[in-house]
Amino acid sequence: MQRISVESRYFLLSAIFLFIYLAFLLYQNFLFNMVIAIILIISTLNINKLLLGFVKNRLFFTIISTFILAIIFIMPITFFILSASEYLSNIDIKEVALFITKAKIFILDIISNNNYLKVYENDIAGIIDPKYIANNLLSLGKIITSVSVNFIKDIIMVLIFYMLILLYLKPLSMYVSGIVPFRDEQVSYFANNVSSNMSITFHAVIITAALEGFLFSILVSYFNYDAWLFGVLFAFASLIPIVGGALMWLPLSLYEYFNGSLQNALIISLYTIIIISIITDTFIKAYIIKIVKENTKNSKLEINEVIILFSIIAGLSEFGFWGVLIGPIISITLLSLFDFYHISKIHVDKKWT
């Protein structure tokens, strides 16, 4: 084929940039969902390769993989909406107001005995209004339901894009590999680093969150609370590093304490701290990561867990729930790029395998 002239090349580049901009305007409402779908593809790439070994038909394999993701994300949210609606509809406003009053007295008693905090006693007393807080619980239920329904809509769009990209992943990968200015083995090296590290992060986070939610549901069912509701809430709360679990067990412990059951409060606190926070989140999580690594194609790049931890925190603060995935993928991709550049510059004759 005859090479195009310089003028034609500039015209072609101008047309490409113009239509990229027009495509952005056309698809901008779906871009975020597309990005999440691509991240999920990268995160599940290794386990999907194992699944593809058992299910040879590409369409059938895509349907199974999408269905599994739907179970992971949609089922807990659906149960949460149903349980939360039922729980809030049966709540006793007077009992909640009484609990908040006891908590207010407890907080003010601590403040009154502290010389540094005593100056804020009147301000805090005015902020904590038991009747106002209790009456607003009903509107809180509507807000939770509305947010949850919108979240399910987003998940459905993500799953649609996930299914389409996964179905045509091979031709798409070949096309991308063909247009980037690197050899196939170099592209494979970089992609393996990103997908392997992201796969380890994704599976460790999801499995640990599900396990912690399950363990917490066993605990609350013993005290006759809604196991499904509190289990799902704890699973999602545990996605927030360091303080996530405390957002669930601490208020529940205080509720039992203010209702005159110090024993129940201690059981909830100790069980959660020892069984979930220490044993599960530290030792069992490390074992889960080890198992995932053994079943994942080895990455040449080892990323420190502290970096992943802070990337999740930053992602949650910037992007909400999906920041659990967006934060790590940005950090992992950046470090993989640095690693790729370093090896390309230092080891010119490196074998990219």
Q: What one-character-per-residue DSSP string does 266-324 give?
A: HHHHHHIIIIIIIIIIIIIHHHHHHHHHHTSPPPS----HHHHHHHHHHHHHHHGGGHH
Residues of the chain with pLDDT below 50 are: none
301, 337 contact by CB (below 8 A): no
pLDDT digits (tens, 9 = 90+) for 44-98: 887 888 888 888 888 999 999 999 888 887 777 777 777 766 666 677 777 777 7
Specify the pLDDT at position 1. 53
Residue ranges of domains in the chain: 198-353
Specify the pLDDT at position 333. 92
Q: DSSP readout, 108-152?
A: HHHHHT-TTTGGGHHHHHHH--HHHHHHTHHHHHHHHHHHHHHHH
% of the chain exceeding 90 in pLDDT = 22
Single-letter amino acid, residue 314: A
62, 119 contact by CB (below 8 A): no
Q: What pTM was computed for the model?
A: 0.78
Count CB atoms within 10 A of the CB of residue 274: 11
Q: Which residues lie below 8 Å from residue 130, measured CB to CB, with a gap of 6+? A: 97, 98, 100, 101, 104
The beta strands (E) that lie in the chain are given as: none
